[in-house]
Chains A and B, each alone.
Chain A
Amino acid sequence: MTNKSNNGFNNWQKSFEKETKKNLSDAKSETDEGIDIKPVYTKDDLENFAFVENNSLPGQWPYTRGPKASMYTNRPWTIRQYAGFSTAEESNEFYKKNLESGQKGLSVAFDLPTHRGYDSDDDLVMGDVGKAGVAIDTVEDMKILFNNIPLEQMSVSMTMNGAVLPVLASFIVAGEEQGVDRSLLSGTIQNDILKEFMVRNTYIYPPEPSMKIVADIIEFTSKEMPKFNSISISGYHMQEAGADNVLELAYTLADGMEYVRAAMSKGLDVDDFAPRLSFFFAIGTDFFMEIAKLRAARTLWAKIMKDFGAKNERSLILRTHCQTSGVSLTEKDPYNNIIRTSYEALSAILGGTQSLHTNSFDEAIALPTDESARIARNTQLILQNETGVTKTVDPLAGSYFVENLTEELSKKAWDIITEIEELGGMTKAVKAGVPKLKIEESATKKQAKVDSGSRVVVGVNKYKNPKEPSVDVRVIDNNRVRDDQIKKIKAIKKSRDTTAVEKVLANLTNAAKDETNLLVPCIEAIRLRATVGEVSKALEQVYGRHFAKSLSVSGVYGKQFEGDKDFMKVEKKVIDFENANGRRPRVLVVKIGQDGHDRGAKIVATSFADMGFDVDMGPLFQTPKDVAKDAIENDVHAIGVSTLAAGHKTLVPELMKALSNIDPKSKIIVFVGGIIPEQDYEFLYKNNVSAIFGPGSNIIECAEKVIDLISDNLSKE
């Protein structure tokens, strides 16, 4: 007998409806993914599954319950904290301290110039050196980074995609010069370029040659580095950019399929490389959904790989790293973030992750301090040592709700995957820009929910702390870092064999013209002390640099505010402004430098347009000069600089200078949004910034303030 037809359920339903004064059928709540969550699940909800198999076991097909039979009962997950800043020396010190305090694996964060293949002495990256990660210009920096860290013992994860060739080459050569053969190196290189074009924005070359490079790396590592994961197929960045869990899941697995095809096109057998593919997911605040996502990911990947003809069981198994969500963390009342991160971490563990990064509570303010990083690490140490969560494998298996959710997510993701496959795969989809747009749409909806108050964020739009605590901030003096790096580059360029370097770079350029595996000549070039920038440029000569075409969603934000008083108030102000001034308020929203965080800029642009502003959207990676030219030619009323990667103290004054260079009488006002530590407010105001909008700003309030500032400024004329 099924549950629904028995008396027990009917009685429960009656009680429920009496208590809630609602019909059961109306008592669903819809998630961001468009899944209806019911108030209660029963045995009936375990039926008619297409993906999940009810009686499966951990370490067995379809691996829903975990990649291994014993999971944490044998060995807990790896605590792997992602970090890196300023110079190799300082990052090295930081790593060593962390390893002493119980961290097990290393995870290197590179700075943006390195990601984008520029040396620290390049004019284009003036504001970015060492700011958001560690600067690596040559193999000498890489050697310093791992000084006294034995590379044959330490598993090292490197988040590198754009400049993956010179950076992996530097890692290999650093190993060599430590006396460690490459076959002994263990760890992971992210090497996931597709999501760069979608959301992370540290690509260098166009999609096709970039995919070729990915395949080169898979090929090389599968032959020469058996302990090294050739790729970390990442959904994490998609969720951070605003994707819901279905989008994250579907696009990540679809990316994975594309990489499998790319590797197979090199003539590799699927089982040659598939066991070394690894994954990376974000874990947000939707507790059960995140658990279900990891379970669904394993289930679907097993099916996908079987369809690719994998024979080796290890090829079927999805192993993943997870990171708690940075975007769920708030600048306001920041100690709340410790609590958020703890729940997210628990979710990742219940979902069965292989390794985990937990964020620091000061995430929305700056890079973590030693102290906040310690708390973040301890979050995991406490989970491992005090809570007992390691004692049972997949403890939520059999939960009506979690199993059902796992199936629902699988189904929804599978539909999207099928659609993408029918359109010719992810490379094509990415080139057309559709996934990016879908993610932006989802991000915009989320923002509207928070701004309208229909989604509560504690300390931001409800339960605000009247006495905001002040917290310590890690400050990086990028001018000093840049000077240090430039000195090192100069010294190396002086002492190396210039003709040999030139020759090897020319070889590399030639190799890019045919099908040669490019990692081999890159290793040679790096060994001879060619810089990361030089290697990247040698390839750029053949491939060119990629400029992304930016599409924008429209109407998504406004739709959530139909009839909203505050929204309509701004709309009316815009119309009044137009009547008084002969045109609408016109605002140029820009990103400057190598900072690729475009979620905020895109959301603000589309929301302002929905309120009636004319919004000019600049491309990524502009220089202050480019921005000034754009602003003046379009005679905008204001420039809104969105800056998250800590370049603001260099780039904003440069922008002011560039504006007055073109037009000494320029009346264009400048405001700034993004990650600005409070300590920097005064500096920016002194540099004539009119307003600053930090994380968590309500966009309708931003818009109103902007239009008021513009009106004030015009009335001064």
Chain B
Amino acid sequence: MELIENIQKGERAAIAKAITLVESSKDSDQQISRQLISELIKKPGKSIRIGFSGPPGVGKSTFIESFGSYLVTQNYKLGILAIDPSSQITGGSILGDKTRMVEISKNPNTFIRSTPSKGALGGISMGTREASIILDAAGYDFIFIETVGVGQSEIVASNLVDIFTLIVGPGSGDELQGIKKGITEYADIFIVNKNDGELKIEASKTAADYKSALSYYKKLDELEKQVLLVSAIEQTGMEDVIKTINQIVDQNKQKGIFEERRADQLEFWIEEEVKNIIASDITKRLSSKGNISKYSEKVMKNEMSMYEAVETITKDTLK
């Protein structure tokens, strides 16, 4: 495919078109997209993929602008996939990430793609994993994935990246109780943003809360998880972030964790894909047979119990 060559040459338009293909819901596009990804994966690049997740409005985009500007001055090539949560009930969205990434979006060493989440996979859009494979093949050093952290999506997002970062705001320490276990497992770095102005004291306090909570949940064989204080707006703390990232990457590579994780992630995605295919197949079968309404009527008329109905339908559908 010519497209593949052009992606590998780093042509902007080719990369963009390829991402459209992997995001497309059209069957014919999906077929091409599978071929494409199968080819690209044969010649992997050297990208490190980093996820930035966190609640709405903590400053993820601003942080990426700030941290990204720092990286591009060091001549790194940076690909950014922003999953925009703004889709509405009507399905349309306003993708405004670019208004928060003014400086880096001008830089020739960046590629920034926003994608409406459309509610898929708790915030991750269809095709994000594939898009990162495309950017990797196109020679980007870092791939940032910005997702809104709401519940389940963190697990999915963490399975897309080599390093998973949770960005939180000052004062969020109180919520620690609720999220304690999940995050310690999935996040590698904790960034407390907005460490500036009047918020400084609160930010330090929050960082301390995280540190103590993390040491409490730390498993014996684990590295100490890092809690970093930054201000995206004042662009402070950025060296610490890159230092920490490099450290973790080096350590993980040395210990084989890096590759192990990628292998685990592959398993995760194979399972997801299989589940997806089965689920959509089953949905199709269910609706074509019209069993549900048929049996629910029977249940209503007390001709059978709900459990009998469920069992009958299941057997019939899986036949």
A574 in complex: contacting residue of B92, B99, B103, B106, CB < 8 Å? B92
A629 touches B92 (CB 8 A): no
B13 touches A662 (CB 8 A): yes
Q: Does B285 contact A (CB under 8 A)?
A: no
B13 in complex: contacting residue of A583, A615, A665, CB < 8 Å? A665
Q: Does A571 contact B (CB under 8 A)?
A: yes
Q: Does B244 contact A (CB under 8 A)?
A: no
A633 touches B90 (CB 8 A): no
Q: Does B243 contact A (CB under 8 A)?
A: no
Residues of A contacting B26 in the complex (Cβ-Cβ under 8 angstroms): 580-582
A611 touches B98 (CB 8 A): no
Given A554-B88, A662-B13, A635 contacting B19 (CB threshold 8 A): yes
Interface residues in A597-652 by Cβ distance below 8 A to B read: 605-606, 608-619, 623, 625-626, 629-630, 632-635
B92 touches A613 (CB 8 A): yes
Of A81-89, A175-183, A543-551, the one contacting chain B is A543-551
Interface size on A, residues (CB 8 A): 45
Complex CA–CA separation, A575 to B92 (angstroms): 10
A617 in complex: contacting residue of B23, B94, B105, B116, CB < 8 Å? B94
- Min CB gap A703→B, angstroms: 10
Residues of A contacting B24 in the complex (Cβ-Cβ under 8 angstroms): 581-583
Interface residues in B57-95 by Cβ distance below 8 A to A read: 62, 86, 88, 90-95
A617 touches B99 (CB 8 A): yes
Q: Does B12 contact A (CB under 8 A)?
A: yes
Mask, B90-115, CB within 8 Å of A = 1, is: 11111110111011011000011110
B93 in complex: contacting residue of A548, A609, A618, A623, CB < 8 Å? A609
- Min CB gap A622→B, angstroms: 8
Q: Does A552 contact B (CB under 8 A)?
A: yes
Q: Does B17 contact A (CB under 8 A)?
A: yes
- Min CB gap B11→A, angstroms: 8
B16 touches A612 (CB 8 A): no
Q: Does A663 contact B (CB under 8 A)?
A: yes
Q: Does A66 contact B (CB under 8 A)?
A: no
Q: Does B172 contact A (CB under 8 A)?
A: no
B113 touches A584 (CB 8 A): no
- Min CB gap B85→A, angstroms: 12
Q: Does A666 contact B (CB under 8 A)?
A: yes
Q: Does B260 contact A (CB under 8 A)?
A: no
Residues of B contacting A610 in the complex (Cβ-Cβ under 8 angstroms): 88, 90, 92
Q: Does A497 contact B (CB under 8 A)?
A: no
Q: Does A555 contact B (CB under 8 A)?
A: yes
Q: Does B25 contact A (CB under 8 A)?
A: yes
Q: How many A-B contacts at CB < 8 Å in the complex? A: 112
In the complex formed, the residue of B with least CB distance to A553 is B94
A611 touches B13 (CB 8 A): no
Complex CA–CA separation, A611 to B25 (angstroms): 20
B112 touches A633 (CB 8 A): yes
Complex CA–CA separation, A551 to B11 (angstroms): 31
A614 touches B105 (CB 8 A): no
Interface residues in B119-171 by Cβ distance below 8 A to A read: none
A606 touches B94 (CB 8 A): yes
B100 touches A662 (CB 8 A): no
B96 touches A634 (CB 8 A): no
- Min CB gap A487→B, angstroms: 30
Residues of B contacting A584 in the complex (Cβ-Cβ under 8 angstroms): 91-92
Complex CA–CA separation, A634 to B86 (angstroms): 16
B12 touches A571 (CB 8 A): no
Mask, B22-50, CB within 8 Å of A = 1, is: 01111001000000000000000000000
Residues of A contacting B105 in the complex (Cβ-Cβ under 8 angstroms): 626, 629-630
Q: Does A269 contact B (CB under 8 A)?
A: no
A616 touches B17 (CB 8 A): no
Given A583-B20, A635-B20, A552 contacting B13 (CB threshold 8 A): no
B96 touches A551 (CB 8 A): yes
Q: Does A558 contact B (CB under 8 A)?
A: yes
B99 in complex: contacting residue of A558, A614, A618, CB < 8 Å? A618
Residues of B contacting A606 in the complex (Cβ-Cβ under 8 angstroms): 94
A612 touches B91 (CB 8 A): yes
Given A583-B23, A610-B88, A626-B106, A633 contacting B16 (CB threshold 8 A): yes
B113 in complex: contacting residue of A548, A554, A633, CB < 8 Å? A633
B12 in complex: contacting residue of A575, A615, A618, A662, CB < 8 Å? A662
B92 touches A616 (CB 8 A): no
In the complex formed, the residue of A with least CB distance to B24 is A582
A549 touches B92 (CB 8 A): no
Complex CA–CA separation, A547 to B62 (angstroms): 11
- Min CB gap A628→B, angstroms: 10
Point out residues on A near B: beta carbons under 8 Å. Answer: 547-552, 554-555, 558, 571, 574-575, 578, 580-584, 605-606, 608-619, 623, 625-626, 629-630, 632-635, 662-663, 665-666
A-B residue pairs, 7 tightest by C-beta = A582-B26, A582-B24, A663-B13, A550-B99, A609-B92, A635-B16, A619-B99
- Given A575-B91, A613-B92, A634-B113, output 10 extra A-B contacts at Cβ < 8 Å: A551-B96, A574-B91, A578-B91, A606-B94, A610-B88, A617-B94, A617-B95, A634-B112, A663-B11, A665-B13
- What are 18 contact pairs spanning A and B, CB under 8 A? A550-B96, A555-B88, A578-B25, A581-B24, A584-B91, A584-B92, A605-B94, A610-B90, A614-B116, A615-B94, A617-B95, A617-B98, A623-B106, A629-B106, A630-B105, A634-B16, A634-B112, A635-B19
